[in-house]
Structure 1
Amino acid sequence: MRRKVREGGLGPAPVLLALVVTWVVFQCLNENFLSPRNLSVLSVDIVGTGMVAVGIVFVLLIGEIDLSVGSLAGLAGALFAALNVNLGMTEWLAVVIAVICGTAIGAIHGFLFARFRVPAFVVTLAGLLAWSGLMLYLLGPDSSIHFSEDGLVATLTSRYFSAPVLTYGLATLCTAAYLLVSLRDHGRRAAAGMPCRPVAEIWVRTALLAAIAFTAVSVLGRFEGLPLALLIFLGVIVASDLLLRRTPYGRQVLALGGGVEAARRAGVDVTRVRISVFMVSGTLAAVGGLFVASRFTSASPVSGSGMLLINAVAAAVIGGTSLFGGRGSTWSALLGVLIIQSIASGMALLGVETAVQFMITGGVLITAVIFDSLARSAPESRGRA
């Protein structure tokens, strides 16, 4: 156990423990914290920042940083609103253009970084400034554009599913899918003579997943039901996780994070992978920006504020993704944003000033970075010994 702690081999356990402690503390201080209403609001509030954080995970996995995601999110919301409201374009087409814009900008950042060797920090810092300026230009003198409360984008955060057959059926389907995939992987690895997870552990994990899924459905069903936004967010996380863990591309991303020269010698197209992760980051930043705009049914500078960038990076790191590359998963974004938003929600219920919330979040972030640094230095120390 001590060796696992030193090497950072406990996985998501410390983050899950921190989340449980956070919830218990706030529930003791205010009995409304774990109410169906507050948890429902929390489950929608995490989506915008969480989407951006998932994109950040891809960039962090190769040991780089993208400082432009906050302004990119705001630009996507402003572009959608300008096209839809000011130019009368249909919502679905405006959404597609906004997301493609995020992908293209991410490609530009990645190209400048990969081809011209301009540090990612500098490229994306310049992007932060440039895209913030373009966002303000699109918003015009009023600095905000309101769009329909009944339209496609507004529905992203206002649509709920309350039918028990649908919600409990979805929980059952997800649990069964996890069990079948895990057992299939176990069989394949065992047949190939590779290390594999014990069957008993698979059943325990499945039972825990079922408990979480059915509890969430039950609690959220007591308010308005399962939010569409949460379902989309979880779908993106699962798809991204499968991409990273089960495809050659994902293995190339992780290999690049472990060492550029080693990855190049292994046949990884370093330039292509670097450009692609910034494209993923830009795309998900745009999607996250649309969810943030949906929450307010308007595009404004708030959608692209620096706090969105800070919270997204903090969520990825707090959730367990290493700042040094090569270690982490997209589930880190979910765990990290849950902790950050839980702190914000609890503080709001207690009437605590926002300044205190920032200080607490900063403390949690620096703690996560310290553990990350210790986990990284432990193998290096053994190598020198």
Structure 2
Amino acid sequence: MSATTQAPPEERASLGSIARGYLDKVRGGDVGSLPAVLGLIALVIVFSVLRPDTFTTELNFANLIGQSAAVMVLAMGLIFVLLLGEIDLSAGFTGGAAAAVLGVTLTNHDWPLVPALLAGILTGTLIGLFIGLLVARVGIPSFVVTLALFLALQGVMLWIIGEGGTIGLRSEFVLKLNNGSMPIWLGWLLTVLTVVGYAGTNLLKIRTRRAKGLSAEPMLLWAIKSGAFAILVVAFTAYLSRERSPNPALKSLKGVPNVVVIILALVVLLGYALSRTSWGKHVYATGGNAEAARRSGIAVPWVKISCFMTCSTIAALAGFLAASRTNSVSPNTGGSDTLLLAVGAAVIGGTSLFGGKGKITDAVIGGLVVAVIRNGIILLDQPSSVYYMVTGAVLLLAASVDAISRRRATASGRV
């Protein structure tokens, strides 16, 4: 006689039971991105009250996205390394070196756009492969390897660009990556596809789990999340579709910034790789307990190498966005505080420094927090010292929340 597995009946949940379930998760140490989201909301409210005529304008909103794009994308790459419990101190200058290769091939040697872009991306990938081999095969700590590359890549950039030199970018495509905006109709089309994709993907996940006899989130919770997401995305598009140019007669500025498409595409692709593939599960397993992962048959060295390669490849894209924003490549591209802000963005967003916990969306949320702090401090006419102190305090608070939530999760048996 064969036993058949029946799908569990659909859960009948109320708002109260959903809220209680979420609070239980938070008390158990599973806070996710909640602190970062609450902090972002608080910052937006504070700066909107203090500078209502400047902070909440369409122009400033669009500038916030452009200013934070390179840090967000770099933080996405760093999340792969942080999930392993490792670090990449050279990621910023990896992006700078890739941007330098792009600038030299495009401007100095008149390469076609596609080969130049591929050369820059390949530069990042090879740097990541080099780091990964030294860490995973030779056994050198990632801190030491990437610190050495942090110094060496600055020399490589000076060698490529020249002492004190700057390479101007003339490619219209590259310049519009982090400066241009898409047509209004395209922005709304992207909005519809994003909302339908988000709701449809989550609904499919629920039905698939129930068909396999597994527990799934209540349909009421799916409806609430999908509705809230739709409202947020529609409001975002509607606000950016308004005229934001100081002088519309001279130049009109309307539409969702082009860089939003890049960020959205990376969130979808990288999020899928981490959550829906066996490789992504291996990354989390390696970060949670490398020895246990090895004993279960996971090729831990390859997982580490692939994560460093992924990090550096995405860092190359971040370098392109940074160069696009400034219309040029200089020895400072990817330097200064770029790396520190990217690491801060990932941690503030909810990625653990201890490894094994984090999502790609953490980079977006944390990147927005960092950008809002900088933008608001500037609008308040405060010196840079205030910005760095506030950002440092927020990062320390995020790390403290991570440590406390991890201890609670251990005590409650969630890890």
TM-score (norm 2): 0.89
Segments of structure 1 that go 5 or more residues without pairing to the other structure are none
* Aligned residue among 295, 298, 315 for 1:268: 298
User: In the aligned structure 1, how far is the partner of 2:346 from the partner of 2:255?
Assistant: 27
Are 1:198 and 2:218 matched, yes or no? yes
* Amino acid in structure 1 at the alignment position of 2:183: S
SS in 1 for 2:145: helix
Shift of 1:147: 1.9
User: In the aligned structure 2, how far is the partner of 1:153 from the partner of 1:193?
Assistant: 49
Shift of 1:195: 1.8
* Aligned residue among 284, 287, 297 for 1:257: 287
1:216 alignment counterpart = 236
Matches within 5 A, 1:226-305: 226-305=256-335
Are 1:155 and 2:170 matched, yes or no? no
Are 1:117 and 2:147 matched, yes or no? no
Q: Any idea what the Cα deviations from partners look like across 1:64-107, whole Å, max 9, x if unmatched?
A: 11100011111112121122222222233222101101001001
Q: Any idea what the Cα deviations from partners look like across 1:308-352, whole Å, max 9, x if unmatched?
A: 100110000000000001111000000000000011111111111
Are 1:55 and 2:66 matched, yes or no? no
User: In the aligned structure 2, how far is the partner of 1:199 from the partner of 1:329?
Assistant: 23
Q: Is the 8 A contact 1:72 1:131 kept in 2?
A: yes
Shift of 1:23: 0.3
Shift of 1:304: 2.3
Moved more, 273-282 or 234-243: 234-243
Are 1:361 and 2:361 matched, yes or no? no
* Amino acid in structure 2 at the alignment position of 1:46: S
SS in 1 for 2:333: helix
Moved more, 21-30 or 370-379: 370-379
2:251 alignment counterpart = none
SS in 2 for 1:141: coil
User: In the aligned structure 2, how far is the partner of 1:24 from the partner of 1:274?
Assistant: 41
* Amino acid in structure 1 at the alignment position of 2:340: I
Q: Is the 8 A contact 1:57 1:329 kept in 2?
A: yes
* Amino acid in structure 1 at the alignment position of 2:154: S
SS in 2 for 1:73: helix
2:94 alignment counterpart = 72
User: In the aligned structure 1, how far is the partner of 2:173 from the partner of 2:383?
Assistant: 35
Segments of structure 2 that go 5 or more residues without pairing to the other structure are 1-19, 245-253
User: How many residue pairs get matched?
Assistant: 381
* Aligned residue among 84, 92, 106 for 2:128: 106
Q: Any idea what the Cα deviations from partners look like across 1:198-217, whole Å, max 9, x if unmatched?
A: 00100100001101110000
* Amino acid in structure 2 at the alignment position of 1:53: A
Q: Is the 8 A contact 2:28 2:412 kept in 1?
A: no
SS in 1 for 2:354: coil
Q: Identity of paired residues, percent? A: 36
1:96 alignment counterpart = 118
* Amino acid in structure 2 at the alignment position of 1:95: L
SS in 2 for 1:302: coil
Q: Any idea what the Cα deviations from partners look like across 1:163-222, whole Å, max 9, x if unmatched?
A: 2x3222221221112222211111111122212110010010000110111000011111
SS in 1 for 2:110: coil
User: In the aligned structure 2, how far is the partner of 1:282 from the partner of 1:327?
Assistant: 20
User: In the aligned structure 2, how far is the partner of 1:142 from the partner of 1:13?
Assistant: 43
Shift of 1:3: 5.2
Q: Is the 8 A contact 2:346 2:366 kept in 1?
A: yes
Structure 1 pair 13–382 and aligned structure 2 pair: CA distance change class (3 A) = closer
* Amino acid in structure 1 at the alignment position of 2:64: L
Shift of 1:271: 0.8
Q: Is the 8 A contact 1:132 1:304 kept in 2?
A: no
Q: Is the 8 A contact 1:107 1:275 kept in 2?
A: yes
Structure 1 pair 6–119 and aligned structure 2 pair: CA distance change class (3 A) = farther
User: In the aligned structure 1, how far is the partner of 2:410 from the partner of 2:73?
Assistant: 33
Structure holding more helix per residue: 1
* Amino acid in structure 2 at the alignment position of 1:156: L
Q: Is the 8 A contact 1:8 1:371 kept in 2?
A: no
SS in 1 for 2:352: coil
Are 1:207 and 2:214 matched, yes or no? no
* Amino acid in structure 2 at the alignment position of 1:217: T
**Larger Rg computed on CA atoms:** 2
